[in-house]
Amino acid sequence: MPKGFISSLEEIASLRQEFEKSGKKLVLTNGAFDLLHVGHVRYLSEAAALGDALVVAINGDDSVRELKGPGRPINSAEERAEMLCALHFVDHVVVFEDRRASCVIEAIHPHIYTKGGDYTPDSLIDEERALLDRLGIEIRILSLVPGKSTSATLSDMAEAADRPKRVAILGSGTGSNARSILQAAADGKLGGEVALVMSDVSNAGILDIAAEFGVPAIAIDPGTTKGGHLTDAALKEILDRLQAASIDLVALAGFTRIVREPLLSAFAGKMLNLHPSLLPKYPGLHACIKAIDSGDAESGCTIHLVDAGVDTGEILRQERVPIQPDDTPAALQARIQTKEHVAYPKVISERLKSI
């Protein structure tokens, strides 16, 4: 059990006696505290500041179900207690099974009892109000943070879960893969929408294709660093724009820059790359030239998750094509791309279902 957790009302009564002896003021509040949010945090810290120690009494799971409905609680009493005990201004947490708080109020007999601003002293349950008056407990109603409640949080979450998933494409080149992804989205086959296309090349074809589909197309200044890496400022701008557009998944399609932090962590498991070889063969540049020069009989494309290495992330799908005896890198690339155009939208669609 977490530090501060009190498992019985007897234990809480003896805590009260200790406080009486040391002349300290005990504050009590109660509620379900099902989905901790900033409104709870501010309310509880304000309550704690009224005395020397704060006890939070939480409804057991059955009483939350009775009070709030069959889908609640979201978190079990044990989990709720653990989260509350982790707040530095909460001294003790106790679980009580009644719908009403009278039993805890009676057992703990606090100096101050607080409720949130959705109550007034007169709207407290009669039984609780009579008990508080009889025991001479001060009632303090504390203001709530507007818009921050468990039900508002739940409805925001339901709305977020319902909205179409949003994809961003990053590319440096002609954008034939971006076109196939945009077309899949337009045909309702992507399982989401393309909400943003970005390029590190201001006149890249991929930006024109995005505009053709009516999708915001943004050129990012990559800055100048040794080795052509994106500058920290460029990475920050990309991340800021992805977050501002509420992007769920990033698809790199012919993006010739190396992606690094903070982008990697922000989109861990949610950033895909397309590479024209059967990885782990030929990562990095000139994959088609390397496959032909090595005398390979086949090549293909790999769609993989992006990690800190160059083309080293978890492989999600590969498609194979033969290499012809008289192949040129351009001919091989074109053959690979016909596979890419079909495979990439499918992998994006599968990935969107899992995030």
Q: Check: CB of residue 108 under 8 Å from CB of residue 76.
A: no
Looking at residue 324, what DSSP letter applies?
A: P
Which residue in 37, 275, 304, 341 is the catalytic one?
275
Pairing of strands 249-252, 217-219: unpaired
- Number of residues located near ligand GAR, criterion CB under 6 A: 16
Q: From residue 274, give the alpha-carbon distance in Å to each of 40, 85, 193, 283.
A: 45, 46, 19, 11
Rounded least distance, CB 341 to ligand GAR, Å: 8
Q: Which residues pair with 303 in a beta bridge?
A: 274, 317
In angstroms, the CA 121 to CA 14 distance is: 28
The residue type found at 349 is S
Q: Of 46-54, 95-103, 214-222, 269-277, which segment contacts ligand GAR by CB under 6 A?
A: 269-277
313 makes contact with ligand GAR (CB under 6 A):
no
Shortest distance, position 226 Cβ to ligand GAR, whole Å: 20
> Is 275 annotated in the active site?
yes
Confirm or reject binding of residue 276 to ligand GAR (CB under 6 A). yes
Residue 295 bridge partners (DSSP)? none
Nearest-angstrom CA–CA distance, 290 and 142: 70
Please pick, from the candidates 274, 278, 279, 352, the single residue that binds ligand GAR as defined by CB under 6 A: 274
Give CA–CA dist 274/181, Å, rounded: 12
Q: How far is the CB of 313 from ligand GAR (least distance, A)?
A: 12
Rule CB under 6 A: say whether 275 interacts with ligand GAR.
Answer: yes
Of 110, 222, 254, 345, which lies in the binding site for ligand GAR, with binding defined by CB under 6 A?
254
Cβ atoms within 10 Å, residue 276: 24
Which stretch of DSSP H or E encloses residue 135?
A: helix 126-135
Please report how close the Cβ of residue 305 comes to ligand GAR at its closest, in angstroms.
14
Residue 102 or 333: the one with the smaller Cβ distance to ligand GAR is 333
Site string for ligand GAR, 162-181 (x = CB under 6 A): ---------x-xxxxxx---
Cβ-based nearer residue to ligand GAR, 235 or 274: 274
Q: Which stretch binds ligand GAR (CB under 6 A): 22-30, 150-158, 189-197, 274-282?
A: 274-282
Residue 253 sits in the site that holds ligand GAR (CB under 6 A) = yes
**What would the x/- binding string for ligand GAR be over residues 109 to 148, using CB under 6 A?**
----------------------------------------
| Amino acid (1-letter code) at residue 280 | P
259 token code pair:
């992606």
Minimum CB–partner distance for residue 180 and ligand GAR (Å): 8
DSSP letters, 5-71, are EE--HHHHHHHHHHHHHHTPPEEEEEE---S--HHHHHHHHHHHTTSSEEEEEEE-HHHHHHHH-TT
* Residue nearest ligand GAR, Cβ-based: 254
The length of the chain, given as a count of residues: 355
Among 124, 238, 301, 321, binds ligand GAR (CB under 6 A): 301
Is 278 a residue that touches ligand GAR (CB under 6 A)? Answer: no
Nearer to ligand GAR, 32 or 274 (CB): 274
Task: Please report whether residue 198 would count as binding ligand GAR according to CB under 6 A.
Answer: no
Distance CA 3, CA 92 (A): 8
Q: Residue 192: how many CA atoms within 13 Å on its side-chain side? A: 27
Instruction: Select 257 or 351, whichever has its Cβ closest to ligand GAR.
Output: 257
Residue 200 found at the interface with ligand GAR (CB under 6 A): no
Task: Give whichever of 176 and 349 is closer to ligand GAR, judged by the CB atom.
Answer: 176
How far apart are the C-alpha atoms of 244 and 211, rounded to whole Å? 19
Q: Applying CB under 6 A, which residues contact ligand GAR? A: 171, 173-178, 206, 253-254, 274-276, 301, 337, 340
Residues annotated as part of the active site: 275
